[in-house]
């Protein structure tokens, strides 16, 4: 009889934990909120500026099945150490319906920014005068554009096209 109660108690505890997890996280896997960004995982992406010069290398992995972990390296001059190395963790916030990105790097303190999914765009706002958007341009590519406010209009400041880096 004790064995039946014990199994019943364990079963109820497991059910309660599963229900609590569903209530906390919803039925949709958290990584689904990242839209197409989740497809970056498992690969590195080499950036090239509009004039053809190399920009950076970004690599992404899924972490704990619910976050996107990213690294970035901006190269220095030939034979020099990189200009910048950084990491980030991207997480879907269902309450805000936004992506929260925690960043840190060799040249900046820890930062927290938010991104919104807008159709096929991922939009970031960096204060009232700077914003950027990311757009997937194919299964092996995406583009990042940074814009600056110029009076009432927005002016493109930088465009980087990323392609899947071979070998990963």
pLDDT digits (tens, 9 = 90+) for 157-168: 999 999 999 865
Domains of the chain, by residue range, sit at 27-164
Q: What are 37-64's pLDDT values in tens digits?
A: 999 999 999 999 999 999 999 999 999 9
Smallest Cα–Cα separation from 85: which of 70, 102, 101, 73? Answer: 73
What per-residue confidence (pLDDT) applies to 82? 78
Q: What are 111-135's pLDDT values in tens digits?
A: 999 999 999 999 999 999 999 999 9
The pLDDT-based confidence of 25 (bands split at 50, 70, 90) is: very low
What per-residue confidence (pLDDT) applies to 148? 98
Classify 27-164 by CATH class: mainly beta
Distance CA 115, CA 137 (A): 18
N-term to C-term CA, the chain: 56
**Residues ≥6 apart with Cβ < 8 Å to 70:** 40, 58, 59, 60, 87, 88, 89, 90
């Amino acid at each position: 009889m004790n064995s039946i109660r014990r199994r019943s108690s364990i079963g109820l505890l497991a059910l309660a934990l599963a229900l609590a997890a569903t209530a906390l996280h919803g039925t949709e896997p958290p990584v689904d909120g990242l839209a197409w960004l989740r497809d970056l995982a498992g690969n590195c992406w080499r950036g090239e500026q509009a004039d053809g010069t190399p920009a950076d290398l970004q690599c992404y992995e899924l972490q704990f099945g619910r976050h996107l972990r990213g690294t970035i390296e901006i190269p220095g001059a030939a034979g020099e150490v990189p200009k910048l190395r950084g990491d980030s963790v991207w997480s879907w916030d269902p309450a805000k319906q936004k992506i929260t990105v925690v960043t840190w790097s060799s040249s900046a303190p820890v930062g927290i920014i938010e991104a919104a999914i807008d159709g096929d765009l991922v939009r970031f706002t960096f204060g009232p005068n700077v914003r950027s958007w990311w757009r997937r341009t194919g299964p092996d590519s995406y583009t990042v554009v940074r814009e600056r406010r110029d009076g009432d209009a927005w002016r493109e400041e930088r465009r980087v096209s990323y392609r899947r880096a071979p070998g990963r």
